[in-house]
Amino acid sequence: MLAKKVPVLNVMIDSVNMNEAVDILEGYIKEKKPHLIATANAEMIMMANEDSDLLSILNKADLVVPDGAGTVWAARYHGHLMPERVAGYDLVQNLCRRAAGKGTKIFFLGAAPGVAEKAKKYAEKKYSGINVVGVRDGYFSLEQEAELIQTIKAVKPDVLLVALGVPRQEKWIVKYLNELEVPVAIGVGGTFDVMAGVVKRAPVWMQKAKLEWLYRGMLQPKRIGRLMALPRFVLKVCSLKKH
């Protein structure tokens, strides 16, 4: 299945719903060829407009899902079909749910020391039969990367979840994707933190009201500066409205 890509401030986003996105990922796993998947929210899109390397990476990615109400709104505002928000956290959970019991090998890379390990335990408890073949935190030096690459290659994961933050995770994946030969490599941001219970996710009503960004700001005041990308994003999208 090939999704239609639509532009949101120079970033090409795939017009997919959650089930379609997971179907595509399962297809990539069967292909056994390396694929980069990105989860684009307003903050990432704004960052890409100021970082030509990130913009190039996103526009060459195999799948870029609309992670964020802002992304969905912007696409629709300019008349494009965008079925729903495909949040990165939810994408990972749905993929794990489908992978459980199938022998699909998953590697957790990133977050602070101990967090990925807790995320692994959460996944094993919630998705019976899931096969997490490796865990490594995101605190590694450039000198340690060769050893890390060998560790990942040795277990041959089908899915590599990389939580190093934007844009480091996307740039890291691109740098090593062909060498690793991982069918599905996804930049997952703070997903492990939520799975590990280190960070709470917004209540369902706030998610449905498209206020998850506000909840994150209330919970982590140091994120406020980053969340200011959202009003800038809205203004920029509105300024490009075709008359």
| pLDDT tens-place string over residues 163-222 | 999 999 999 999 999 999 999 999 999 999 999 998 776 677 766 766 666 556 656 666
Of the candidates 183, 172, 187, 8, the residue with the CA atom closest to the CA atom of residue 89: 187
Q: What percent of the chain has pLDDT over 90?
A: 81
Whether the predicted pLDDT of 62 surpasses 70: yes
- pTM for this one? 0.90
- Report the DSSP beta bridge partners of residue 105: 131
Q: Are strands 11-14 and 5-8 parallel, antiparallel or unpaired?
A: antiparallel
Predicted confidence at residue 243, as pLDDT, reads 46
- Nearest-10 Cα torsion for 84, 89, 94, 95: 120
